[in-house]
Amino acid sequence: MDNRCLPSWPAGCVLKSLSNSLVAIVMKDAAHHLDLRPSNPADPPSEETETATERYGRFIAANEGAAEKTIPIKKREKRLRYSSDPRITQARDEVNRRYEVFLQNTQEKNRQKLKRARKTFEETYTKVKEEDLLQRIKEVEKAHENCKHGQSWKLINEVTNRRETKESQLEGNTPKERVTNWYNHFKSLLGKLHDITCEDEEIPAVLENLDIRTGPIDTEEYEKAKKSLVEEKRCGEDGIPP
């Protein structure tokens, strides 16, 4: 909320912030719609020397200053790489230490110790990677149970290193080429024009003897449909006209 300091506006204004989200901005030498009124001898000096752009700039600067002081900055969460795990760091340091010892003394026992250290490092790395994968799988399952399918697919894409595809973007280097691709796509999708010459000609069925119930709905069918409903959904009209 912004407040103007010229009389008589402060009497009905909130001059102090009420909370972190309700911030009071006090504008010096300002009044409601002062910049929209004709010039007056009682105008403050800033109104005579400043342009509308400069006054608006001061208002923007005041908003930015208030935002920096009141709105917390949310740090971006970055998933730690496997190499940052303390167990992997410890195993890597052991490999480096054994390697330095082997360079100073190339005896067979030092070679074997270096070999075991490298094997331990590989096993530790694999174990940490498996634990992280299992944790992500649990997150995917939990998101799916809570019907957060977008979050589920995001986690799956992270695990599989699959990049997100551009939605609603046709392939093509030019607008004309994209229009052509769009036309050819629907042309092949809808198929060729029919060659029926008689309107009364009977069209043969594609599939025969389909297991589709055409009679009244029975209890078994009702129970099956009820179990397939998503949690927190209910029967009834959806408000969408046919």
- pLDDT < 70 positions in the chain: 1-15, 20-21, 26-39, 42-50, 76-81, 163-170, 190-196, 230-242
Q: Which pLDDT score, from 0 to 100, does residue 1 have?
A: 43
Task: Please say which residue of 115, 137, 160 terminates a domain.
Answer: 160
Q: Which pLDDT score, from 0 to 100, does residue 61 have?
A: 84
Task: Please say which residue of 130, 160, 190 terminates a domain.
Answer: 160
Task: Please say which residue of 17, 42, 70 terminates a domain.
Answer: 70
Q: Which pLDDT score, from 0 to 100, does residue 122 have?
A: 92
Residue 134 lies in a domain: yes
Q: Which pLDDT score, from 0 to 100, does residue 116 have?
A: 93
Q: Which pLDDT score, from 0 to 100, does residue 193 have?
A: 65
Q: Which pLDDT score, from 0 to 100, does residue 2 have?
A: 45
DSSP per residue, the chain = -EEE-STTGGGGS--S--SSSS--EEETT--TTGGGSPP-TTS-HHHHHS-HHHHHHHHHHHHHHHHHHHSPPPPPP-PPPGGGSHHHHHHHHHHHHHHHHHHH---HHHHHHHHHHHHHHHHHHHHHHHHHHHHHHHHHHHHHHTT-HHHHHHHHHHHHTPPPPPTT----SSHHHHHHHHHHHHHHHH-PPP----TTPPPPPSS-S-----S---HHHHHHHHHTSPTT---S--S---
* Pair 138, 109 in one domain: yes
| Domain encompassing residue 138 | 86-160
